[in-house]
DNA sequence: CCGATTGCCATAGCAACGCTAGATATGCGA
DNA sequence: TCGCATATCTAGCGTTGCTATGGCAATCGG
């Protein structure tokens, strides 16, 4: 059945097209500009086609978010790899994370502000999500000093996420951003000597 | 002109009613359930009345958010006051902050996820916002060790905000929440001994 | 190579959204 | 009591996410 295979290929191709166009549109004009009508127009199909691929708009956002996590994990891994000492690796990871959020604001929104229906709680957690978290775990492990690496990674991730979001929404002064990141890195690395 | 005074009183009363009802509705069913129609129905007026008090829905959310910041500042102040050592005061502040976010999830959303049009950047920053931030500054000052208190307060706020947000959206496992907060407090307090 | 059938897709529409213009009712001052 | 000003409502605009229906085109059996 060659025709059926071709159809599935075309469907898969269109599936990816929807995700790509949604992401481009979001990065260009923000998620509030990503309506099902505009999206349908851009992919040159009618609205109902979107719903034959995704359960709804939220599912499209979630698909974009998943793509974002994969890229984030890659960026974090690259940052860690190009560093020498554990301290430098941690600093590189934090800066890579902040840079990713700054360069892809709407993508970051999809990943961590919108799209609640991604299963973060195990066991159904998608691989890209686990990979991104694993990078935090690897980077922080050197500073564990007997403490739980998972907890430390969670604190590191949450902290840098909070700083990034509050900075991006104007809640924290933008010109202190670098100093805040440096302070955070100090705290994450320094507390190993204590307790 | 007594009639004019009475009218202004009634307007002010209705103004507060709108904010109160919006907040109640949001806490009961989430902000997506707070539509101008439902809000108008609850206050027993028609939709356009809302727009004679506020520029739009966002302005109503911002008003609720402002109320939230005032309450948050009060809670944080109370927490700091009932603590002995600086370390206990910092821990009490962090836990009070996390508790506030947990008990008033929609209010917290209005303050820090929605409502972008609140002027955080000085000089037009509303007093409740400054008061809440001042509590962080006071709590962290004892651990400054020569470092910039403002930066440290910003890092503390951003960090706990990130942990709270990711926990509440299910991005971080809920059962580790307390351990994460304890670790954060350790880091905020411990780094004073370094550098 | 033709006709029946299957599956895909677009048109059109629903209910609800934020917001507003114009008409109506209310209550004041003279 | 009359005329005016102010306050409020009714009705509607354009847009949203989503879907039921109906027609067209590609596919398969002969």
Nearest residue, CA→C1' of C20? B48
User: Stretch B121-138: mean pLDDT, rounded?
Assistant: 91
Q: Residue B79's CB: how many other CB atoms inside 10 A?
A: 23
Cβ contacts of B195 on chain A, cutoff 8 Å: 186, 190
CA of B95 to nearest chain A CA: how many angstroms apart? 15
Q: How confident is the model at residue B195 (pLDDT cuts 50, 70, 90)?
A: very low
CA distance linking residue A93 with residue A32, whole number of Å: 30
HSE at residue B158, side-chain half, CA atoms within 13 A, is 30
Nearest residue, CA→C1' of C8? A49
Q: How many CB pairs under 8 A join A and B?
A: 131
pTM for the model = 0.94
Which positions on chain D have an atom < 7 Å from some protein CB?
6-12, 15-21, 26-28
- Any idea what DSSP says for residue B173? -
User: Stretch B67-78: mean pLDDT, rounded?
Assistant: 98
Per-residue pLDDT at A115? 75
Q: Which one has a higher pLDDT value, A123 or A173?
A: A173
Least confident of A5-9, A13-17, B123-127, B133-137: A5-9
Contact A171 B147 (CB under 8 A): no
User: Stretch B2-22: mean pLDDT, rounded?
Assistant: 85
CA distance linking residue B12 with residue B10, whole number of Å: 5
């Amino acid at each position: 059945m060659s025709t059926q295979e071709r159809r599935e290929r075309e469907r898969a191709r269109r599936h990816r097209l929807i995700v790509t166009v949604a992401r481009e549109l979001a990065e260009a004009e923000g998620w509030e500009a990503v309506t099902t009508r505009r999206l349908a127009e851009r992919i040159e199909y009618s609205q109902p086609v979107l719903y034959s691929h995704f359960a709804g708009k939220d599912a499209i956002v979630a698909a974009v978010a998943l793509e974002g996590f994969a890229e984030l994990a890659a960026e974090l891994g690259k940052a860690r790899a190009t560093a020498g000492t554990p301290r430098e690796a941690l600093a590189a990871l934090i800066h890579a994370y902040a840079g990713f959020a700054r360069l892809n604001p709407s993508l970051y929104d999809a990943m961590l502000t919108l799209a609640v229906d991604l299963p973060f709680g195990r066991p159904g957690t998608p691989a890209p999500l686990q990979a991104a978290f694993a990078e935090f775990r690897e980077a922080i492990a050197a500073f564990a000093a007997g403490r739980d690496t998972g907890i430390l990674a969670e604190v590191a991730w949450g902290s840098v996420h909070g700083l990034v979001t509050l900075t991006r929404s104007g809640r924290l002064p933008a010109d202190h951003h670098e100093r805040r990141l440096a302070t955070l890195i100090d705290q994450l690395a320094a507390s190993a000597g204590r307790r």
